[in-house]
Amino acid sequence: MNEGVETRLYFKHKRMPFVSEILKHKSLSIVGMEKNTGKTECLNYIIGRLRDSGTRIAITSIGIDGESVDQVTSTHKPEIEIYPGTMFITSENHYRTRKITSEILNISKQSTSLGRLITARAQSQGKLIFSGPTSTMWIKDIIAEMQGYGSQLTIIDGALSRKSLGSPSVTECMILSTGAAVSHDYKELTRKTKFVYSLINIEAYESPASDELLRTERGIWAIDGNNDVHDLGIDSTLLLENKKDKLFEFGTTIFASGIVTDKVLNLLRMQKEIQNTTLIVKDFTRIFVTPESLYSYLSKGGKIKVLLRTKLIAVCVNPTSPSGYIMNSEKITTELSEALNIPVYDVFKERMKNGQWTINNG
Q: Are residues 329 and 297 in the same domain?
A: no
Tell me the pLDDT tens digit for each residue of 152-207: 999 999 877 666 667 888 999 999 999 999 999 999 999 999 999 999 999 999 99
Q: Got the DSSP string for 45-97?
A: HHHHHHTTTT--EEEEESSEE--SB-TTT--B-PPEEE-TT-EEEEEHHHHTT
Q: Are residues 197 and 218 in the same domain?
A: no
Q: Are residues 242 and 319 in the same domain?
A: no
Q: Are residues 226 and 317 in the same domain?
A: no
Work out the pLDDT band at 12, boundaries 50, 70, 90: very low
**Candidate from 67-81, 141-155, 293-307 with smallest mean pLDDT:** 67-81
62, amino acid identity: I
Residue 51 within a domain: yes
Tell me the pLDDT tens digit for each residue of 85-114: 999 999 999 999 998 999 999 999 999 999
Nearest to 205 by CA among 286, 326, 111, 297: 286
pLDDT at 283 over 80: yes
8 A C-beta contact, residue 67 and residue 77: yes
Q: Are residues 132 and 278 in the same domain?
A: no
pLDDT at 356 over 50: no
Beta pairing partners, 88:
59, 120
Q: Are residues 121 and 229 in the same domain?
A: no
Q: Are residues 167 and 218 in the same domain?
A: no
- Kindly report the CATH number assigned to the domain that includes residue 96: 3.40.50
Tell me the pLDDT tens digit for each residue of 304-327: 999 999 999 999 999 999 888 999
Tell me the pLDDT tens digit for each residue of 251-276: 999 999 999 999 999 999 999 999 99
Domain of 284?
210-306
pTM of the model: 0.87
Q: If residue 344 lies in a helix (H) or strand (E), which one and from where to where?
A: strand 344-345
CB atoms within 10 A of CB 209: 20
Residue 357 within a domain: no
Q: Please work out, in degrees rounded to the nearest 5, the angle formed at the alpha carbon of residue 59 by the alpha carbons of 57 and 64.
A: 170
Last residue of a domain, one of 290, 306, 322: 306
Q: Are residues 67 and 193 in the same domain?
A: yes
Q: If residue 139 lies in a helix (H) or strand (E), which one and from where to where?
A: helix 136-148
8 A C-beta contact, residue 100 and residue 125: yes
Q: Are residues 324 and 291 in the same domain?
A: no
Q: If residue 60 lies in a helix (H) or strand (E), which one and from where to where?
A: strand 57-61
Q: Are residues 279 and 348 in the same domain?
A: no
Q: CA 331, CA 315: separation in Å to the nearest integer?
A: 14
Q: CA 239, CA 340: separation in Å to the nearest integer?
A: 36
Residue 260: strand, helix, or coil: strand
Counting the structural domains of the chain, the total is 2
Tell me the pLDDT tens digit for each residue of 27-64: 999 999 988 898 999 999 999 888 878 899 999 998 77
- What average pLDDT does the structure give for the chain? 87
Give backbone dihedrals phi and psi of 104, rounded to 5 degrees, phi first.
-75, 130
Last residue of a domain, one of 306, 321, 342: 306
